[in-house]
Structure 1
Amino acid sequence: MGTVPFALGATEKVSGSTTSVYISALYVGAANEKPNQEYVKITNKGTKSVNLKGWKIKDKGAKHTYTFSSYTLKSKASVTLRSGKGRNSGSTLYWNKYSFIWNNTGDTAYLYNAQGKLVSSKTVKK
């Protein structure tokens, strides 16, 4: 019944199927870099594709929120969400911000499903 929401690869019931979607990487950037060099990576270790429509990525303090408009993360696949501007592709999405999202001194990324439940988090400390 209970899953551990902060465990790496925590499982969750979504539409009757068990998925394993989690934040697999967070790169907060460094001085003199561009926003596109910052990223958060979401991975699906499950056996079924997961529709991420309505899912959200937030930073610590929820100063910035990215909402997936329409994206299906295939089984055994990852998608990289970059902070800057660019053209979305099958494995890379862009937040389309001119400014930085993640604090270079360290930050935490939070992944929420479409129902607002915390699915995964990842902290980077420098």
Structure 2
Amino acid sequence: MFRTRTIAAAATAAAAGLLLLPSQAQAAGSVHLYKIYYDSPGTDTRSNTSLNGEWVQIANTTAYAVNLRGWTLTDASSHKYTFGNFTLGRGKTVTVHTGRGTNTAAHLYQGRAAYVWNNDRDTATLKKSNGTRVDTCSYNSTRVDYVWC
């Protein structure tokens, strides 16, 4: 009888504990748009420094590294950045800058000579290499220079 009660108590505790756990989707995490800094500081001069002052951050909240090879980042005007062979580590973010620079594990560069992200409104879309939409983030503001997605 003691064994039956112990098993029943354990089952009840386990069932109660399940109610406190995050959903599977939350527990699994995601690769998603994290922040867009769409209005680089100062005057828009198209200098490389100014171009790199606008950027998009992508976060990986999964428990594993994700290879973004062939994934795309686009704006509402269809400016497209395609990721090369780049792996985003678990729990890491990568900042995708508009201008030129040397790619690292934390910073990628589109190599553009013109701005991508509109200063008043735009939509960022992240897609897998097969075209499946992973995330979108829109903004419609001139009060701040960035948006948290």
* Shorter-normalised TM range: 0.7 to 0.9
**Whole-Å separation in 2 of the counterparts to 1:48 and 1:57:** 21
The structure with more helix, counted as a fraction of residues: 2
Greater C-alpha radius of gyration: 2
Q: 8 Å contact 1:19–1:50 — kept in the other structure?
A: no
Q: Structure 2 unaligned segments of length 5 or more: list them.
A: 1-24, 45-49, 142-149
Q: Is structure 2 residue 30 aligned with structure 1 residue 20? A: yes
The structure with more strand, counted as a fraction of residues: 1
Q: How many residues matched?
A: 109
Could you tell me which amino acid in structure 1 is paired with residue 119 of structure 2?
Answer: N
TM-score after normalising by structure 1? 0.81
Q: Which runs of 4+ in 1 moved over 2 A?
A: none
TM-score after normalising by structure 2? 0.69
Q: Structure 1 unaligned segments of length 5 or more: list them.
A: 1-10, 12-17
* One of 43, 46, 50 as aligned partner of 1:32: 43
CA-CA distance at 1:123 after TM superposition = 1.2
**Whole-Å separation in 2 of the counterparts to 1:19 and 1:55:** 18
Secondary structure of 2:52's partner?
helix
Q: What residue is the counterpart of 2:47 in the other structure? A: none
Structure number with greater CO (CA < 8 Å, separation at least 6) is 1
Superposition RMSD in Å: 1.4
